[in-house]
Chain A
Amino acid sequence: MTQTDVPPATDDVPGQATDDGPTPATGPQPDPGTPVVEMRDISITFGAVAALSGVSLRLFPGEVHALMGENGAGKSTLIKALTGVYTIDSGTILVGGREQDFATPAAAQGAGISTVYQEVNLVPNLTVAENMMLGREPRRFGMIDHRAMNRQAAATLERLGLDVAPGSVLGDHPIAVQQLVAIARAVDVEARVLILDEPTSSLDSDEVAKLFEVMRRLREAGVAIVFVSHFLDQVYEISDRMTILRNGRLVEERMVAGTTQLELVQRMIGRDLEVLDQLDREPASAAPTRGTPLLTAVGLGRKGSLEATDLELYDGEVIGVAGLLGSGRTELARLLFGADSADTGSVEVRASRRRLRSPRHAIDRKIAFSSEDRKGEGVIADLTVADNMLLALQASRGWLRPIPQATRTRLVADYIEALDIRPADPNALMRHLSGGNQQKVLLARWLVTEPDLLILDEPTRGIDIGAKTQIQALVADLAAKGMSVVFISAELEEVLRLSDRLVVMRDRRKIAERPNDGVSVSDVLEIIAGEARSEEETAHV
């Protein structure tokens, strides 16, 4: 990978280029040639892992700068290096032309670098004004001057065009307003740089529009904004410049205007499409027999996580779900399983009228779900392999009917052998197993319940190639035996290799569904990039 040097700043003048709002005709526009923040050759290692190697970032005043990259590309690490959460191992950070080394977030804030995180980091029990001013309240005679505080807060809110009463309690407002108040707090100090880390992930489209309005105002006021989002359309709507990262390295910095979405996705994923197309794929398993669908989802949706989606699953079929991070893949899986409750639509199993309302319902109807969050929602690190494996079976039997010891031993031994779990010791503690082996135990946990439908969310993430192939082979084998599988993975090759039918997600919608008959990775990327969207939507099964 070439360390792309930052292009000469004189060529592409930042600012205004893609501004769709009226640009200020007057006013002292800061010199667009000098970045307010320049990070040069930043490297950070955690233990033996290089989280960032030689990454550079330039932020210009009056510009929205999108930081792009897949999960694990190093976006958050870079942000945390800038805001003083992490210390850098090598490289320099220049703020306003002077070298800076922020030891704490407070130091970065003092230098005018404010951050708004994905979760609203405010206190719900205090008023809007207090949340904006906490820690720097105006005081009179040593006591907080509430009147002055409310006045100052109101002025800031008005400057941002927000119609929020400063005296109202923050927790009474919807999340979107809270998010905007967090931004108001961030810019209330002399913010020169505003970092927005996934600010839109819990907002609906009206709320996003409101946020963008605020961002445009700040941009006009000369604030340099860093925008991190998985929504490509939003990036294109608001950003002027972008820096693309991949695997902790800088891919390139370029202007948003003049970069097609397809180019962007290719650079984020980091593969040459021609090379990908030449990869030989195993043919998908034989087309499944149709009949009554095993599971039917009609208009399934949840505010802020998935727009209404229809889906039918048949026995012995592998449905591959493709899409970038944040496209709604996981949300779809959780709704299908009843782990999140749907706002709209319903899931019916075997055409029964009974709807799924909870994971318990789903398990009773022989649906299993293996979460992408292996640590948080899967593994119980302090229990043994055997206990972890039999958890779901025991739960479905009820606690009053323990599994007979002989059955226990036999089941565990069978699955340890079948899935090649190492060490092959039923009494080993789960925490001592490698990620791949933990994943196999989790698979076994659901397989012992003999489900009809297995929903696998990122079953191969972060595990080595050997275990990965074993799990892929297992999925193909299970489908051949009649089990229906929903297979979700960030790795497109894997999805294409395994699935009979393909569902493509983007921006929390199903944008395409088609049989996997010779679909190539570049086809999928094109669908995701929106280049061929209208064509693909007609190709419904």
Chain B
Amino acid sequence: MSTATVTRPGPGGPSGPAAPGSPSGRPRSAWERVRTYTPSSRYLPVITTAALFVGMFSVGGARYEGFADPQVFLSLLLDNSFLIVLAVGMTFVILTGGIDLSVGSNVALSTVIAAKTLEMGWSPYLTVVAVLVTGTVLGTAMGLLIHYFDIQPFIATLAGMFLARGLCYLISVDSIPISDETFQTWAFASVDLPGGYYVGWTSIVALATVAIAALVLARTRFGRTVYAIGGNESSALLMGLRVASTKVGVYAISGFCAAFAGLLFALYTLSGYSLNAVGMELDAIAAVVIGGTLLTGGRGFVIGSLLGVLVLGVIQTFISFDGTLSSWWTRISIGLLVLVFVVVQRFMTRRQP
């Protein structure tokens, strides 16, 4: 192909909106780049959610005494660590255009398995492995059904949801307390921060999950294939991408994350119970949506889902600080927020040519 003579195209050739800092442009000063920087529309939803979170936190700080204390924020992370992990897994699934309704039941199943095996005297490490393997296998099985039998994700994971919940009762109908020493240590482990603050280990683990997931989505072929499938599955197939393994993979990841969240939940409550986490899959979906991920797939970031969980958490904190509001206001606010975000998303996608 050495004979091709390259000439610059004349004006009037098709050209897209030049991205800031595009390699074909002339070198620009750092200040000029900062001054002319406009965030890509891809990041807008995440920025909006971040602004919403900061705004709500500031309003809370102004209205209620003690709200602005950094420890409130750290507790927010601690109280929602399992939901953060759950939302991470859900983000993978939703990015491909799918949905996973089974994660709430999967969390409950994980807590019950953890409590039961510990009660039976298993090593806590073996318990962790057993829980994670169970969750991942459940997720993989649903992924295989969805991809190879072409079953709607909604239906396949609905079946998984009932299956997992049913299995909980098979293991134990009653709540089982966890008295294992290792688990107790993990549950209360925390890192002291300067100024007398502390951050729970579970929060750190949850944030690490977010970071790893963000890296996988942005910088691996698997991650980019997730976005490609959400953009157009048949195109992804024609482009020769590994659609099958990726689709099954996201449900496996979601199952793994659900089991992992289940462990965190077991540490949080130090018990295993069949009725744990009823409807938690919907909280996870709400967090992902509020975090700016399109339900049709292809657009969104895990960092948005983290912010989504924090927004949900701050609403709860608001209501507990206020003291006069009924806790149902949490649900009402979440409902309104989801509605607003979905409508905004609709407008954003409609602008696409």
* A contacts, CB < 8 Å to B: 24, 26-29, 105-106, 109, 117, 120-126, 128, 130, 134-135, 137, 139, 142-144, 146, 150-151, 154, 158-159, 161-169, 171-177, 180, 185, 206-207, 210, 213, 217-218, 220-223
Contacts and interface: CB of A to CB of B under 8 A. Distances in A.
A124 B15 CA distance: 16
B246 to A, nearest CB: 11
B224 A134 contact: yes
B18 interface: yes
A273 B224 CA distance: 57
A213 B221 CA distance: 33
B16 A164 contact: yes
B28 to A, nearest CB: 14
B16 A165 contact: yes
B231 A168 contact: no
Contacts of A166: 19, 22-23
Q: Which 3 pairs of residues, A with B, have the shortest CB-CB distance?
A: A123-B231, A27-B3, A167-B19
A120 B234 CA distance: 11
Given A163-B14, A223-B1, 13 more contacts: A125-B231, A128-B16, A130-B224, A144-B224, A158-B24, A159-B4, A163-B9, A167-B21, A171-B352, A172-B17, A173-B14, A177-B14, A210-B14
A121 B40 contact: no
Interface string B2-37: 111111110011111111011110000000000000
Contacts of B40: 169
Nearest to B221: A137
Interface string B227-246: 11011101110111100000
Interface of B: 1-9, 12-19, 21-24, 40-42, 215, 218-221, 224-225, 227-228, 230-232, 234-236, 238-241, 298-299, 352-353
A332 B232 CA distance: 30
Given A144-B219, A177-B16, A24 B3 contact: yes
A180 B239 CA distance: 15
A95 B8 CA distance: 34
11 contacts: A105-B240, A121-B238, A122-B232, A123-B228, A123-B231, A125-B230, A125-B231, A125-B298, A134-B241, A150-B23, A154-B24
B1 A222 contact: yes
Contact of B352 (A124, A128, A163): A124
Contact of B22 (A121, A162, A167): A167
A26 B230 CA distance: 46
Given A144-B221, A220-B3, A168 B232 contact: no
Contact of A168 (B3, B12, B17, B235): B17
A164 B353 CA distance: 17
Given A125-B299, A169-B40, A169-B42, A151 B23 contact: yes
A218 B8 CA distance: 15
B352 to A, nearest CB: 5
A121 B23 contact: no
A165 B18 contact: yes
A221 B4 contact: yes
Nearest to A127: B19
B7 A154 contact: no
Contacts of B6: 158-159, 161
Nearest to B3: A27
A281 to B, nearest CB: 46
Contacts of B24: 154, 158, 163, 165
Contact of B220 (A143, A213, A222): A143
Contacts of B220: 142-144
A135 B23 contact: no
A137 B6 CA distance: 24
Nearest to B11: A163
Nearest to B4: A221
Nearest to B231: A123
Contacts of B5: 24, 217, 220
Nearest to A29: B3
A164 B14 contact: yes
B299 A174 contact: no
Contacts of B236: 123, 134
Contact of B16 (A139, A142, A173): A173
A167 B5 CA distance: 25
A117 B239 CA distance: 11
A139 B215 CA distance: 13
A196 to B, nearest CB: 15
A282 to B, nearest CB: 47
Contacts of B225: 134-135
Given A27-B3, A172-B17, A161 B298 contact: no
Contacts of B234: 121
A151 B352 CA distance: 26
A310 B221 CA distance: 53
B197 to A, nearest CB: 33
A123 B235 contact: yes
A135 B3 contact: no
A29 B9 CA distance: 25
A171 B353 contact: yes
Nearest to A214: B9
A240 B24 CA distance: 34
B240 A135 contact: yes
Contacts of A130: 224
Contacts of B238: 105, 117, 121
A300 to B, nearest CB: 23
Contact of B19 (A163, A165, A218): A165
Contacts of A126: 224, 227-228, 231, 298
A109 B7 CA distance: 28
Given A124-B232, A159-B4, A161-B9, A143 B239 contact: no
A169 B22 CA distance: 12
A167 B23 CA distance: 9
A139 B15 CA distance: 28
B41 to A, nearest CB: 8
Contacts of A213: 9
B224 A122 contact: no
A429 B228 CA distance: 40
Pick the most buried of B8, B239, B352: most chain A CB atoms within 10 A of its CB. B239
Nearest to A187: B1
Contacts of A121: 232, 234-235, 238-239
A176 B14 contact: yes
A92 B230 CA distance: 39
Contacts of A134: 224-225, 228, 236, 239, 241
B15 A164 contact: yes
Contacts of A124: 231-232, 298, 352
Contacts of A105: 238, 240
A203 B352 CA distance: 18
Contacts of A142: 220
Given A24-B5, A174-B353, A168 B228 contact: no
Nearest to A124: B231
A122 B215 contact: no
A120 B235 CA distance: 8
B42 A123 contact: no
A28 B12 CA distance: 33
Contacts of B219: 143-144, 146
Nearest to B241: A135
Contacts of B4: 159, 217-218, 220-221
B3 A161 contact: no
Most buried by B among A125, A128, A144, A146: A125
Nearest to B7: A161
A124 B22 CA distance: 19
Contacts of B41: 169
B230 A174 contact: no
Nearest to B229: A123
A171 B232 CA distance: 12
Nearest to A21: B5
